[in-house]
Structure 1
Amino acid sequence: MSHQRQVLQQAGTVEENAVRFDTEKAEQVVQALNLDLAASVVASHQLRKHRWSVAGPHSRDLGRFFREAAAEADRHADALARRIREIGGVPLSSPATFERHSPVPFEGEDVYDARTSLANDRDAYGDSIERVSSHIELAESLGDHATGHLLRGHLADLERRASAIDGLLAGDSLTDR
């Protein structure tokens, strides 16, 4: 059985779009959103890893926190990918591409104690907060207020999670695992 493939749009390109956002401006926004998309996917995987490996007396609460944070990162990734398509771009989609483009590095496959895992997540959230803030400014300076609105919602979620992690790290009760 022969399968004929038809490429509808090549990766890395931006085409005319239904929302009539200028393609030259859209290229800049798509590039920024793809960085945020990659960071969200990498963060989601790291948060899942932390959920799978957390142990100790607080493992249930921390596991729930990591599960909810990973689900939130997945929702962000989906919303970013949809917006990229709406303005005529192609969202990143392969694991290698996510890792290569993510401004937030994955901490690796080793298992760390809860405090170290949370500190790594706090650093990742801090980097994402700075980047998303600059992407809001970029999008709105180019006249893409819908993307600015989307990113403002993401920014509020990122700040809330970073604050929650700070609260968890402030406690003395986290065990070595």
Structure 2
Amino acid sequence: MITRAVTLAAGLTGAAGLSQFPEFSQQYMQRLGGAVDELSRQVDRYGADAEAAGLPMATYLQRLGAEGPLAQTQAANMASDIARLGEMSAALTALQGAGPFMRAKLATHIGDRAVAERTMESFKPALPLTFEGITFAGVGFFAGWLALGIALWFLKTSWRTARAVLFPGRRRRTARQG
């Protein structure tokens, strides 16, 4: 009886947790889009500076880095911004237009740690009243119930085996029928 109650609680916990994925992934995409827009603006400014100097971006960064330690740090930061924009843009492109189920499949694209942390800081769980939220809740319930059920079964069978090894002469008491 206790096992059923505990596995039911695990199922409900899984349902509550996983049902929030559609909304979290939507808010992550919005935040990622804002970060891409801002970083694009910054990188465009770098491009305008390189163009004003009459140089391609790679040459501009190389020459800037050769001007001294301060400029070298600035060039490294600019190169890092450009690379990050590429990564973030690729992730946003993969997620855009994808529904909640496809976003779950593409969850590896929800990998920018800074954006995910900022999303989680402002995320407020909600009751999932959409088809997607209810589906994720159902999957979460089943996953939580199954995971705890398997763990409890494993512990129960392991305990029986351990008891048989530790106390070989002892048998479980059974109720006498009479």
The answer, yes or no, to whether TM exceeds 0.5 is no
Higher relative contact order (CA 8 A, sep 6+): 2
Superposition TM-score, scaled by structure 1 size? 0.32
The structure number with the bigger radius of gyration is 2
Greater per-residue helix proportion: 2
Superposition TM-score, scaled by structure 2 size? 0.32
